[in-house]
C-alpha cells in the first residue's frame, strides 16, 4: 500500500476514534448531570465536570487538527474533498453557567477552483470565416434560364471608328435609354440591313471593351465559320419583350460571371433546327405572351452565338 494511503487511513481512524470518544463523554456528562441533584455528590460532580470539560476541549483541538492534516494530505495526492454523510455533529458540553453549546461541526469541503479560461477574442487581423454554402441551384443548374434574353431594336448603327470589321449600335431593349453594343458583323450583314432591325439580344453579359468602346450586350445570330445571320423575333414583338425557352423557366443571373463561363457552357446547345427555328436542346425560344418563334431565314441546323 502507498505511504499516502497509509497516512490517510491512519488519519481517518484517529478522526473516528475522536468522534467516538466525544460521544462517550457526552453520555457520561449527561449521567453526571442527573446525579448532580444529590447533595452528597455535588462536590464530586463539579470536579468531574471540570475534568471532562478540559478533556473535551483537548479532544476538540485534536479532532480539528486531524481533519486539517487529512485534508492537506488529500489535496497533495490530488484527492477531491467532500463532506461526510452527516453534515453536522454535535457534542454538548456544559458551560460554567449551565448552558450547552455545540462542540464540533464538520467544516464545509475545501474545493480548489480551476481558473476559468477566458474566451479568446478574434484578433483584428483575423477575418471571420465565411460560412460554407452547399452547391446552390445557381451553381448547379447551368441552363438557358441563366441568360437574360430580350427582344431589341437597332435604332442606330455605324461602323466602329477604330475597327473595320465592327459595327457600333444603339439597341433599344426596353430600358430608359438604348444600350451601346459592338458587333463583329460588318463582313456578314450590310449596314442598311442592320438599321431598325428587330433582334434577339443577350443582356446580362459583363460589359467588355471592344477597341476602346464598352459593349453592354450581344446580338444573337445563327452562325457558321463562314456566315452569320440575325434571328428574326415573332412579328408582334416589341423592344424589351422577355425571351424564354420552353421547359427552362429559371431566373436569369443579374450578370454572368466570366470566370464561371456560364454562356460558354450553354452555347453548344444553342442551334437552329431543320426549319431554321432557334432552340436550346430541342426546345424553341418564345416571347412571353406572343405567338411565333425566333428563326433564321437561310441558316438551318446551325449554331447560335
For residue 90, the model assigns a pLDDT of 42
For residue 70, the model assigns a pLDDT of 78
For residue 84, the model assigns a pLDDT of 52
Query: Which of 250-268 are b and which e, b meaning 16 or more Cβ less than 10 Å from the residue's Cβ?
Result: eebeeebeeeeebbeebbe
- Residue 185 dihedral angles phi and psi, to the nearest 5°: -115, 5
In 3-state terms, what secondary structure has residue 269? Answer: helix
For residue 66, the model assigns a pLDDT of 82
Strand partners, 158: 168
Distance from C-alpha of 49 to C-alpha of 4, rounded to nearest angstrom: 39
For residue 207, the model assigns a pLDDT of 95
Q: Residue 36 half-sphere exposure, CB side, CA atoms within 13 Å?
A: 14
Q: Which CATH architecture best describes the domain 138-304?
A: Beta Barrel (2.40)
pLDDT in tens, the chain (305 residues): 565 666 777 777 777 777 777 887 777 777 777 766 555 556 666 777 788 888 888 888 888 888 887 777 777 776 666 555 444 444 444 444 445 444 444 444 444 555 555 555 655 555 555 544 434 444 568 999 999 999 999 999 999 999 999 999 999 999 999 999 999 999 999 999 999 999 999 999 999 999 999 999 999 999 998 899 999 999 999 999 999 998 898 899 999 999 999 999 999 999 999 999 999 999 999 998 899 999 999 999 999 99
- Residue 39 burial (10 A CB sphere; 0-12, 13-18, 19+): exposed
For residue 130, the model assigns a pLDDT of 52
Do the beta carbons of residue 270 and residue 302 sit within 8 Å?
no
Do the beta carbons of residue 10 and residue 76 sit within 8 Å?
no
pTM check: above 0.75: no
In 3-state terms, what secondary structure has residue 219? Answer: strand
Q: How far is CA 221 from CA 77, 88, 187, in A?
A: 87, 97, 14
Sketch the domain layout of the chain as residue ranges: 3-102, 138-304
Amino acid at each position: 500500500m502507498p505511504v499516502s494511503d497509509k497516512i490517510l487511513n491512519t488519519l481517518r481512524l484517529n478522526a473516528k476514534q475522536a468522534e467516538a470518544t466525544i460521544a462517550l463523554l457526552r453520555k457520561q456528562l449527561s449521567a453526571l448531570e442527573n446525579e448532580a441533584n444529590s447533595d452528597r455528590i455535588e462536590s464530586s460532580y463539579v470536579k468531574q465536570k471540570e475534568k471532562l470539560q478540559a478533556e473535551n476541549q483537548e479532544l476538540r483541538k485534536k479532532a480539528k487538527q486531524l481533519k486539517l492534516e487529512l485534508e492537506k494530505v488529500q489535496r497533495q495526492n490530488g484527492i477531491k474533498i467532500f463532506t461526510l454523510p452527516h453534515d453536522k455533529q454535535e457534542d454538548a458540553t456544559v458551560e460554567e453557567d449551565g448552558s450547552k453549546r455545540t462542540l464540533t461541526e464538520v467544516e464545509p469541503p475545501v474545493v480548489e477552483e480551476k481558473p476559468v479560461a477566458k474566451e479568446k477574442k478574434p484578433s483584428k487581423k483575423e477575418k471571420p470565416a465565411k460560412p460554407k454554402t452547399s452547391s446552390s441551384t445557381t451553381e448547379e443548374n447551368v441552363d438557358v434560364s441563366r441568360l437574360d434574353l430580350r427582344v431589341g431594336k437597332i435604332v442606330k448603327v455605324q461602323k466602329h471608328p477604330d475597327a473595320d470589321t465592327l459595327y457600333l449600335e444603339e439597341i433599344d431593349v426596353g430600358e430608359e435609354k438604348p444600350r451601346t453594343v459592338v458587333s463583329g458583323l460588318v463582313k456578314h450583314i450590310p449596314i442598311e440591313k442592320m438599321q431598325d432591325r428587330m433582334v434577339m439580344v443577350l443582356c446580362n453579359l459583363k460589359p467588355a471593351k471592344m477597341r476602346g468602346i464598352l459593349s453592354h450586350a450581344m446580338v444573337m445570330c445563327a452562325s457558321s465559320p463562314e456566315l452569320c445571320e440575325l434571328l428574326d423575333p415573332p412579328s408582334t414583338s416589341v423592344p424589351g419583350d422577355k425571351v424564354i425557352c420552353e421547359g427552362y423557366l429559371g431566373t436569369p443571373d443579374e450578370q454572368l460571371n466570366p470566370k464561371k463561363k456560364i454562356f460558354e457552357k450553354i452555347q453548344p446547345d444553342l442551334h437552329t433546327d431543320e426549319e431554321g427555328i432557334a432552340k436550346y436542346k430541342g426546345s424553341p425560344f418564345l416571347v412571353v405572351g406572343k405567338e411565333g418563334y425566333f428563326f433564321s431565314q437561310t441558316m438551318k441546323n446551325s449554331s447560335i452565338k
